[in-house]
């Protein structure tokens, strides 16, 4: 599974990073969670609060956006978008 992460500030991309994570021994949801944790660590982004709207967006479009109010810590960006590449 390849997961791309982008941070935006005022509609300008600040960072882009891709992680490649594969774990065939777990479910898709668990593999996605592991890939997201890895992506957040490598991008130095706090782990976001995953809401039901994120589940709906990811199920429909294979991507979702987290806004700054979904982070427990202050973040230097307006939104964090993740997208499933492969």
Would you say residue 80 has pLDDT above 90?
yes
**The domain containing residue 63 runs over which residues?**
2-84
- Identify the weakest region by mean pLDDT among 24-28, 34-38, 49-53, 75-79: 24-28
pLDDT tens digit sequence for 31-56: 999 999 999 999 999 999 999 999 99
What is the C-alpha separation between 70 and 52, in angstroms, rounded? 12
Give the chain's domain count.
Answer: 1
- Residue 45: CA atoms inside 13 Å, Cβ hemisphere, count? 30
Rg (CA), the chain: 12
Would you say residue 86 has pLDDT above 80?
no
Quick one: pLDDT band at residue 68, thresholds 50, 70, 90? very high
């Amino acid at each position: 599974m390849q997961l791309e992460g982008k941070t935006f500030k005022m509609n300008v991309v600040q960072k882009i990073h891709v992680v490649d994570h594969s774990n065939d021994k777990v479910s898709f949801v668990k593999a996605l969670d592991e890939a997201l944790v890895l992506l957040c660590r490598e991008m130095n982004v706090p782990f976001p609060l995953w809401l039901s709207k994120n589940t709906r967006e990811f199920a429909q479009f294979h991507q979702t956006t987290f806004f700054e109010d979904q982070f427990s810590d202050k973040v230097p960006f307006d939104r964090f978008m993740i997208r499933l590449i492969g």
